């Protein structure tokens, strides 16, 4: 069965600095990888996905993620963090044989002015 690990519970960065939120995955076949963001009292919002193709995926709000097959990672990145990026970020994975998507435990990103 597929699984996801987000090794950091909390990431703190200063506004304007680059940010990285880490994610590693495990699947038996080809992975389909997703990042979602959750703001307080709001539902999960889709940021970006990797299905196939270029390893660097660009998504909403200036976020991007790099798929690394050899390291089984799909880290979320942004060149310049904003205070408004502060939220809970979830990485998720599914493989072709399953319809359920497995989410990581989440990483709380705090961007300080």
Partner 1 sequence: DTGVSQDPRHKITKRGQNVTFRCDPISEHNRLYWYRQTLGQGPEFLTYFQNEAQLEKSRLLSDRFSAERPKGSFSTLEIQRTEQGDSAMYLCASSLAQYNEQFFGPGTRLTVL
Number of chain residues interacting with partner 1 (CB under 8 A): 22
Please report how close the Cβ of residue 75 comes to partner 1 at its closest, in angstroms: 17
> By CB under 8 A, what part of segment 54-113 binds partner 1?
90, 92, 98-106
CA–CA separation, 2 and 39 (whole Å): 26
If the CB atoms of residues 49 and 75 are measured against partner 1, the closer one turns out to be: 49
Q: Which residue's CB is nearer to partner 1, number 14 or number 96?
A: 96
b/e sequence 78-108, b meaning 16+ C-beta within 10 Å: beebeeebbbebbbbbbbeeeeeebbbebbe
Which whole-number Å values give the CA distances from 79 to 58, 98, 104, in the listed order? 12, 34, 23
Supply the minimum distance, in Å, between the C-beta of residue 16 and partner 1: 29
Of positions 45, 71, 84, 110, contacts partner 1 by CB under 8 A: 45
**CB-based contact 44:36 (threshold 8 Å):** yes
**Coil, strand, or helix at residue 69?**
coil
Question: Which residue in the set 25, 32, 63, 67 belongs to the binding site for partner 1 (CB under 8 A)?
Answer: 32
Interaction site with partner 1 (CB under 8 A): 4, 32, 34, 36, 42-46, 49, 51, 90, 92, 98-106
């Amino acid at each position: 069965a597929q699984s996801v690990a987000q090794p950091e519970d909390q990431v703190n960065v200063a506004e304007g600095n680059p940010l990285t939120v880490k994610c590693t995955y495990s699947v038996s076949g080809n992975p389909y990888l997703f990042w979602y963001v959750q703001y307080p009292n709001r539902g999960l919002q889709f940021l970006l996905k990797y299905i196939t193709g270029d390893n660097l995926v660009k998504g909403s709000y200036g976020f991007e993620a790099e798929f690394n097959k050899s390291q089984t990672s799909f880290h979320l990145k942004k060149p310049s963090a904003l205070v408004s990026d502060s939220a809970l970020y979830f990485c998720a994975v599914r493989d072709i044989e399953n319809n359920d998507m497995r989410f990581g435990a989440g990483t709380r990103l705090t961007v300080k002015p």
